[in-house]
Amino acid sequence: MQIGADLSHVFCTDGAATVIKGYSPELIVHPYLPDSWQAAQDGHGAQQDEERAQKRREEAVAAVDAWLDRFDAVLVGPGLGRDPLTLATVAEVRAWLQAGYVAARTCQLGCLFARSPHRASVPF
């Protein structure tokens, strides 16, 4: 990888996973993030849709949370798209990251979180 990482984990929606897997063998793809289209396929009615969306968000945050302790740095942002359910899920994950990581860099592409300030000296 261009920044010196041997492997990178990518958390994305199911629809984006196949394309992302084809970019590089060093990418480990986790299609955990929900999207509105997927949630709409599961339910009928606005009340059920909101309940299912909340359940999908909670499941996705738990799935991502299970992996975060293994990472030294996490980049949030590039390529997220505009889907409101995906963005709401990422906002919950980002709030969790702000509690446990140091916000090392913020730029147009996203926000880089690192476990310690010494590991946060990645130039952009």
Q: What is the pLDDT of residues 34-76, one digit of tens each?
A: 888 766 666 555 556 778 888 888 999 999 989 888 887 787 7
C-alpha of 31 from chain center: 9
* Domain regions of the chain by residue span: 8-120
Q: Are 109 and 122 in contact (CB under 8 A)?
A: no
**Reduced to 3 states, what is the DSSP secondary structure of residue 71?**
coil
Query: What are the pLDDT digits (tens) for 7-16?
Result: 888 998 988 8
- pLDDT digits over 86-118, tens only? 888 888 888 877 776 666 555 555 666 666 544
Furthest C-alpha separation in the chain: 50
Q: What is the pLDDT of residue 70?
A: 85
**pTM (two decimals):** 0.73
- What pLDDT is stored for residue 106 in this prediction? 58
pLDDT at site 28: 92
Place 119 in a pLDDT band, splitting at 50, 70 and 90: very low
